[in-house]
Amino acid sequence: MQRITITLTDEIAEELDLFMAQSGAGNRSEAIRDLVRRALATRPDAPPEAPCLGVMSCTVDQSVRNLGARLAQRRLDTHDRTLAALSVPLDHSTSLEIEVTRGTLGMLTRAAEAQFLERGVAHGALALIPVGQDGARHKHPQPDGEHGHGHEHSHTVVQTSFRPTTAPTTPDAS
């Protein structure tokens, strides 16, 4: 970690302290890290091809003709990108829909915007989480007593921002 010093106006410091109290942050550094992380993840200049996870939420009026069926079909059509979906009934015709998807920033943003434009969909929000792959494919050994072979896989790694990470450079010895 790096230590930095910042200067805040009294008004911003008061807002930060209020945010700390409401969010449960233990100190100002924790609160500022959280706020900066969120701001970096929503930067508008992130490249459309950046890999990410998306958490989309919206309310859906199920009484709108075929809307529920169209949204379910869209999830089936994107089954390779849809990781999880949850439908929470709110009343006799409205549900809160939550989806976790993976893909590129551009792809997930276009899909969410298209869904938010559907008649009967309201309160749409998309949270984007920048990710990468650790690159190292590996197998886990099977626990004692279990048959079969471990499957080969790599891991999704959550990034701090959409900016590509680079390896630290070392100065020339010349």
> Domain of 110?
51-133
The answer to whether residue 117 sits within a structural domain is: yes
Q: Are strands 94-104 and 51-61 parallel, antiparallel or unpaired?
A: antiparallel
pLDDT in tens, 147-173: 666 677 778 888 887 776 554 444 444
**83 plus 105 within the same structural domain:** yes
pLDDT in tens, 92-124: 999 999 999 999 999 999 999 999 999 999 999
Q: Is 128 helix (H, G, I), strand (E, B) or coil?
A: strand
What pLDDT, on a 0 to 100 scale, did the predictor assign at position 167? 46
Regarding pTM above 0.85, the answer is no
**21 plus 72 within the same structural domain:** no
Nearest 10 degrees: Cα torsion 73, 52, 41, 22: 60
Length of the chain: 174
Total structural domains within the chain: 2
Average pLDDT, the chain: 85
**64 plus 94 within the same structural domain:** yes
Q: Is the pLDDT of residue 81 over 70?
A: yes
% residues pLDDT > 70 (the chain): 85
User: Residue 38 is encoded by which pair of tokens?
Assistant: 């969120």
The answer to whether residue 98 sits within a structural domain is: yes
**32 plus 98 within the same structural domain:** no
| CATH number for 94 | 3.30.70.1150
**32 plus 58 within the same structural domain:** no
